[in-house]
């Protein structure tokens, strides 16, 4: 397993940093974003350290997005979302903050932006709320496995 010593996602994968993990298989891991755009905002991360998607072999990209599809359904059900945005950034110019390949699953709700054209502001949820939400998402993802 390739990793970067100072990478927060590598540290989460190896359980050296905390996270509310909602899904894991041999290729990827999914956990709640600590500054979510909406409750249930989840990150799906490759277990191998690649800074950007274009560095990944195509078969590994496919495995990552198979996990995205599975987790997305669980997130949507767990939070009762009306829709989902999938986001993936590559490079500083594209607003990538953590240079380890990851995909955002962002639940969206009709009442927040009727046309879906405005992104909500990030939120800070309490530890108990994050843990409860994590259990709910994990349960829904496992139901679909």
What's the CA gap between 42 and 48, in Å, rounded?
18
* Catalytic status, residue 41: no
DSSP of 13-56: HTTSS---EEEE-SSEEEEE-SS-SSTT-EEEEESS--SSGGGS
Two tokens at 106?
């962002």
- Continuous segment of H or E residues that includes residue 112: none
DSSP of 84-108: EEEE---SGGGT--SSS-EEEEEEE
Q: Which one from 41, 49, 100, 102 is the annotated catalytic residue? A: 102
How many other C-beta atoms are found inside a 10 Å radius of the C-beta of residue 13? 24
Residues annotated as part of the active site: 102
């Amino acid at each position: 397993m390739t990793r970067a010593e100072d990478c927060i996602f590598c540290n989460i994968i190896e359980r050296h940093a905390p996270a509310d993990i909602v899904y894991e298989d041999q290729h990827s891991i999914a956990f709640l974003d600590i500054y979510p755009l909406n409750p249930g905002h989840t990150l799906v991360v490759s277990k191998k350290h690649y800074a950007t998607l274009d560095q990944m072999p195509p078969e590994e990209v496919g495995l990552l997005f198979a996990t995205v599809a599975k987790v997305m359904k669980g997130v949507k059900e767990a939070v009762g979302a009306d829709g989902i945005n999938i986001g993936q950034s590559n490079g500083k110019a594209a607003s990538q903050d953590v240079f380890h390949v990851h995909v955002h699953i962002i639940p969206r709700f009709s009442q927040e932006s009727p046309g879906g054209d405005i992104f909500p502001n990030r939120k800070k949820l309490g530890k108990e709320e994050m843990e409860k939400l994590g259990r709910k998402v994990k349960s829904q993802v496992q139901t679909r496995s």
